[in-house]
Amino acid sequence: MSGRAVAVVGATGAVGEELLALLTTRRFPVRELRLFASTAGGESRAGQPVLPLTPGCLRGCDLVVFAASAEVALAHAPPAAAAGALVIDCSTAFRRDRSVPLVVPEVNGADLRGHRGLVANPNCSAILLTLALAPLHRAVGVRAAVVATYQAASGAGRPGIDELRAGIAALARGEAPPPAVDLPQPLAGNLFPHIDAFGAEGYSSEEDKLQDEARRILGVPDLRVDATCVRVPVERCHSEAVAVQLAAPLAPAAARTLFAAAPGLVVDDEPSAGRYPMPSTVAGADAVAIGRIRGGRVFVPGLTFWLVGDQLRKGAALNAVQIAEAAFAAT
């Protein structure tokens, strides 16, 4: 792979900073690096100036990763793709567009074939969920899942992290947390089942994404996913409790073997010894950790398990870099 001209849009945000770190640690062949943000000025952690987005500023790039809002991506991603760049968008802008591949490389990397310059990075919780469902579906088939997510402040970007830190500091002083600004409720010492807007059926758009995106990624259009998405006072790493209905019986021991062999997963499953995935042990890791694997009591045949993944890495930045690596390797 020859050196590439790379642009990161949203370089000063939480995902953008993680992208810059991963480009270095994974030795992505960067010949030229351009950094952009909606608010220009200053330097990123890469020590480079952050520039404003202007017409034509992405021309000549081989790879552009958007870690910005859907509005920014809708305005600037299609022209960048039309100019010849591979564009990977981490926002919601193109995830429902059937002409745009929605990809978790370990699960449906083949969907990158024939892309037209634009690839959507899935929702963070959907990435983690489909990594775990994929080996089960390949082995025996997956019909439905009930999922409760425990989503960290990092899922709301830098503002969410800042609000959590400010609230924790206030509690430590014996004060009430400050009013929420970017989150719907104060998060320190609290949790709430409210991530994104609620629809007519009472589900949030975050909960809808888990079903809609899992169907596309796994290639199971009739998969049923009933989700409750909860924001919790954890700075980094999303967790999920999953109960899955299978098409055929699968013993927990066999499931552990499948999970252990699946790319992107690690098994941490000795609960009697206090070993199970936790945000404190998974933060900064590339793999999604899975444990508490047991036979289901509601779905028969079925399984129940617990998983934790770093939302800023595999849930966002790492998946985007892996998409770029796979796409360029295929050319």
Question: In terms of domains, do 94 and 182 share one?
Answer: no
Question: In terms of domains, do 47 and 73 share one?
Answer: yes
| pLDDT at residue 38, as a whole number | 74
Residues 6+ apart with CB under 8 A from 145: 129, 133, 214, 223, 224, 225, 226, 242, 243, 244, 245
Which residue in the list 124, 137, 229, 237 is annotated as catalytic? 124
Question: In terms of domains, do 206 and 175 share one?
Answer: yes
Q: Assess contact for 205 and 196: CB atoms under 8 A.
A: yes
- Structural domain range at position 117: 4-122+316-329
| pLDDT at residue 71, as a whole number | 96
pLDDT for 115 beyond 90? yes
Q: Which SS3 state, helix, strand or coil, does residue 297 take?
A: coil
Annotated catalytic residue 124: yes
Closest C-alpha among 230, 231, 235, 236 to residue 169: 235
Across the range 272-276, mean pLDDT stands at 97
pLDDT tens for each residue of 117-141: 999 999 999 999 999 999 999 999 9
Annotated catalytic residue 76: no
Question: In terms of domains, do 214 and 98 share one?
Answer: no
Closest C-alpha among 264, 254, 261 to residue 295: 254
- Beta strand pairing call for 118-120 and 302-309: unpaired
Q: What is the pTM of this model?
A: 0.96
Question: In terms of domains, do 154 and 13 share one?
Answer: no
pLDDT for 192 beyond 80? yes
Question: In terms of domains, do 135 and 277 share one?
Answer: yes
Question: In terms of domains, do 209 and 279 share one?
Answer: yes
Tokens 């950790």 correspond to: 289
Confidence of residue 215 (pLDDT cuts 50, 70, 90): very high
pLDDT tens for each residue of 68-83: 999 999 999 999 999 9
pLDDT tens for each residue of 285-305: 999 999 999 999 999 999 999
**How many structural domains compose the chain?**
2
Question: In terms of domains, do 190 and 302 share one?
Answer: yes
Question: In terms of domains, do 162 and 224 share one?
Answer: yes
Q: Assess contact for 90 and 13: CB atoms under 8 A.
A: no
Across the range 209-223, mean pLDDT stands at 98
Question: In terms of domains, do 243 and 269 share one?
Answer: yes
pLDDT for 1 beyond 60? no
Closest C-alpha among 6, 61, 32, 98 to residue 320: 6
Query: In angstroms, rounded to a whole number, what is the distance separating the alpha carbons of residues 2 and 30?
Result: 9
Question: In terms of domains, do 165 and 95 share one?
Answer: no
